[in-house]
Amino acid sequence: MDKSPPETINTEARRASHGAVTLADVATLARVAPITVSRALNSPDSVSETLRSRIRTAVDQLGYVPNRMAGALASAKTKVIPVIVPSLSNVVFIEVIEGVQETLTAHGYQLLLGTTDYNLEREAELVSALLGWAPPGVMIAGLRHLPRTNTILKNAGLPVVEMMEYGARCIDMNVGLSHVRAGMEMAEHLLSRGYRKIGFVGTRLRDDYRARQRYDGMHRRLLESKIASDMLFDYPGGGSQQLGWNALGDILKSNPELDALFFASDEMAVGAILRAQREGIAIPGRIAIAGFNGLPVSTLVTPSLTTIISPRKLMGHTAAEMLLARIAGGSPAARRVNVGLELAAREST
Amino acid sequence: MDKSPPETINTEARRASHGAVTLADVATLARVAPITVSRALNSPDSVSETLRSRIRTAVDQLGYVPNRMAGALASAKTKVIPVIVPSLSNVVFIEVIEGVQETLTAHGYQLLLGTTDYNLEREAELVSALLGWAPPGVMIAGLRHLPRTNTILKNAGLPVVEMMEYGARCIDMNVGLSHVRAGMEMAEHLLSRGYRKIGFVGTRLRDDYRARQRYDGMHRRLLESKIASDMLFDYPGGGSQQLGWNALGDILKSNPELDALFFASDEMAVGAILRAQREGIAIPGRIAIAGFNGLPVSTLVTPSLTTIISPRKLMGHTAAEMLLARIAGGSPAARRVNVGLELAAREST
DNA sequence: CTGAAAGCGCTTACAG
DNA sequence: CTGAAAGCGCTTACAG
């Protein structure tokens, strides 16, 4: 096949063009009006069998692919939905995106992906840029944005779903869980198992305020108890297993009085457990370890990891369904959904 | 702020409209022609200081966001690039996407994400649908597509990068590594360490032909050696750690004669190691374990995992750079890039 | 440096 | 069931 576009069709064009086959080309070949081709493609039932098959032949022969931008511009309807998350390095966002993608795809929508790297300025720019695609709705991680971002989204007058965390105030719709509550539940659990000096280990906590909320929840509950205390460790450099591995060594040396560590993610907690295995450190004898997310690996490590399970795919599905309900003109079952969480008490504590 | 769009502007419109502020609105407020607003935004230097600041004020006051679809339609230029991968469940694709995203974003491009779930029919549909956005280029995982997909992509006359695997024939450009070679190198390694009865463990191998290529490479090398043999295990249900965990138990029972297992991914291999830890199975004494990818966790488990390291982010960066070079009208440094691989011999073998 | 006109490739709204 | 006209919101190409 020839790789160059069919230039001949446009030799006389005065303007830039995609050089691609258009509706008009199909119409000419099928000897009908362009609008009839449009109908044959978008609402086949409204076109006679005869013309429909003639048009189909022409479409196939020319390899016609409708220009979505022209269609969207004319009809003021798009099926592309921006999904904005902080990062792809965190499994949690991936699984939410997967859930969103599954639901969107099933309804013929496409996903336009944006990542902010936890930077709210960048988030604001991204929101502006993506609104330029005149999307029918927007999905965004988190409830905290710059005032500017909130204003833009509100003024856009579109359905918006804020995901990942559940809170009292949202722009439009909200699906998530309470991270403060997660922290409180873990504190409760650690207290009940007799731990009294607890470290919280996270990374980039200035940006990752959801992790900080888990710390806040834990901190509050421990204070209340009057029998336990905590310390906060904020490591630079991404929430990986390597970080958990490093943290365990550092902390045992610098703060030997601690008897439990609550990590910001299962990945970090697993890293700590692997380090303990390697060095023969007893878990939970010497120190207890807990995580957050409920990744599958949490049941496979030895000792198995105490963690808080969050329904990530469900969050994605629910968020997408709510958005689609609103786009379809209806209203979702609820405007705010708390997907909940579940503490899994296992061997590591 | 009022959540509804500024209806008043369009009360007399005969057609659907986004109800959004347009270039014309800004032009009216700034008392200039629309084209001048367009210039002030796209090539500020070509507009006088006076008008430029008047326009800027109007833009801010109205909260104007340019409609990208109208712009793209008129100029035949878009900055959205479709990226098509089989799945998001596999870290490998995520890291490639991250690399792609970093490079695209740095050049002002956006990423339109499509997943095929390893289904070539679905891939073909996705390619058609995404070409409807008249993108300046396409990035797609894999060298194997339906003939129809190849034809569509070739006829589109756009820059196309096929990623993940390196091979002799590509549609346009290619960045990847040789999976056959990876399998051969692992076979070589296992032979050199004295293993003679080797199992290859994968999942959905009918669809994941790159994993099957690694098996083929291993198989070929073992046959050549005349001293070793292999078996192929294809488990249903996603390449998770859980799968590796299950596989280790099954295989030790059903095929106790095997002395080494080469897993299709590090995740699966790590699952097997965790199972062995739990049950006190000696690795590599009772059975050797090897993986593929070189995930960070491979160095953290005990025993550390022998694996093949692939430069995933580099692949993403390189692929995006090649595409952008072609979009900019130049030609990339090379049309085909083999990013290579590196066998890391560790404790598990 | 600034603008009036035409056009990008579709769909809406109105006729027949 | 089929079509001619107008328009979606921009930018190109041509003038001044």
Q: How many angstroms separate the CA of B111 from the C1' of C14? A: 40
> Hunting for tokens 């006359």 — which residue is that?
B157
Centre a 10 Å sphere on the Cβ of residue A14 and count the other Cβ atoms it contains. Answer: 6
Residue A347 predicted with pLDDT over 50: yes
pLDDT 10s digits, A50-76: 999 999 999 999 989 999 999 999 998
Q: How many angstroms separate the CA of B308 from the C1' of D9? A: 52
Residue B121 predicted with pLDDT over 70: yes
Band (pLDDT 50/70/90 cuts) for residue B285 is very high
One-letter amino acid for residue A11 of the chain: T
The predicted model gives B103-130 an average pLDDT of 92
Query: Which residue, among A8, A107, A154, A155, would best test binding to B if mutated, counting the most B CBs under 10 Å from its CB?
Result: A155
Bases of chain C within 7 A of a CB of the protein: 1-5, 7-14
Q: Which residues of A touch B151 (CB under 8 A)?
A: 1, 63
- Edge-to-edge strand ranges of the sheet holding B260-263: B229-235, B197-203, B260-263, B288-290
Q: Is A257 helix (H, G, I), strand (E, B) or coil?
A: coil
The predicted model gives B183-193 an average pLDDT of 98
Please check whether strand C approaches the CB of B326 to within 7 Å: no
Task: Please name the residue of chain B whose CA is at the shortest distance from the CA of residue A129.
Answer: B65
Cβ distance B69 to A133 less than 8 Å, yes or no, reads yes
> Hunting for tokens 């079952």 — which residue is that?
A333
Q: Which pLDDT score is estimated for A4?
A: 37
Taking domain A7-66, whether its CATH number is 3.60.15.10 is answered by no
The per-type count for chain B, helices as H runs and strands as E runs, is: 12, 12
The residues of B between 35 and 94 with beta carbon within 7 Å of nucleic strand D are: 35, 38, 41-42, 64, 66-67, 70-71, 73-75, 77
Query: May I ask the CATH class of domain B179-309?
Result: alpha beta
pLDDT 10s digits, A90-132: 889 999 999 999 999 999 899 988 999 999 999 999 999 999 9
The Cα–Cα gap between B141 and B145 comes to 10
Size of interface A-B (CB pairs under 8 A): 154
Q: Which pLDDT score is estimated for B10?
A: 34
Rounded to the nearest angstrom, the minimum Cα separation between B289 and chain A is 17
Average pLDDT, chain B: 92
CATH fold of the domain at A78-177+313-339: Rossmann fold (3.40.50)
Q: Which pLDDT score is estimated for A334?
A: 85
Residue A14 predicted with pLDDT over 70: no
Of B68, B88, B131, the CB nearest to A65: B131
Are the C-beta atoms of residues A306 and A346 closer than 8 Å to each other? yes
Are the C-beta atoms of residues A46 and A39 closer than 8 Å to each other? yes
- Parallel, antiparallel, or unpaired: how do β-strands A197-203 and A229-235 relate? parallel
> Hunting for tokens 């990062």 — which residue is that?
A87
Q: Which residues of A touch B240 (CB under 8 A)?
A: 296
Please check whether strand C approaches the CB of B73 to within 7 Å: yes
Q: How many angstroms separate the CA of A11 from the C1' of C1? A: 32
Q: Which pLDDT score is estimated for A27?
A: 94
pLDDT 10s digits, A187-201: 999 999 999 999 999
Give every CB contact of residue A44 below 8 A, 6+ residues apart in sequence.
A52
Of B240, B270, B302, the CB nearest to A278: B302
Where b means 16+ CB within 10 Å and e means fewer, B100-125 reads bbebbbeeebbbbbbbbebebebbbe
Q: Give how far the C-alpha of residue B267 lies from the chain's centroid of Cα atoms, to the nearest Å.
A: 18
Average pLDDT, chain A: 92
Q: Which residues of B touch A5 (CB under 8 A)?
A: 156-157
Please check whether strand C approaches the CB of B35 to within 7 Å: yes
The Cα–Cα gap between A277 and A268 comes to 14
Q: Which pLDDT score is estimated for A10?
A: 34
Taking domain B77-178+313-339, whether its CATH number is 3.40.50.2300 is answered by yes
Q: Greatest CA separation found in chain A?
A: 85
The predicted model gives A245-251 an average pLDDT of 97
- Label each residue of A106-164 as H, E or C: HCCCEEEEEECCCCHHHHHHHHHHHHCCCCCCEEEECCCCCHHHHHHHHHHCCCEEEEE
The predicted model gives A34-47 an average pLDDT of 93
The predicted model gives A1-10 an average pLDDT of 35
Provide, rounded to the nearest whole percent, the portion of chain A with pLDDT above 90. Answer: 86
Query: Which residue, among B297, B304, B348, would best test binding to A if mutated, counting the most A CBs under 10 Å from its CB?
Result: B297
Nucleotide nearest to B36 (CA to C1'): C2
> In 3D, which of A302, A329, A215, A200 has the Cα closest to residue A260?
A200
Q: Residue A93 is inside which H or E element, if any? A: helix A91-106
Q: How many angstroms separate the CA of B18 from the C1' of D8? A: 9
Band (pLDDT 50/70/90 cuts) for residue A17 is low
Query: Which residue, among A41, A95, A98, A300, would best test binding to B if mutated, counting the most B CBs under 10 Å from its CB?
Result: A300
Question: Between A206 and A1, where is the model more confident?
Answer: A206
Q: Where are the domains of chain A?
A: 7-66, 78-177+313-339, 179-309
Same fold for the pair B7-66 and B77-178+313-339: no
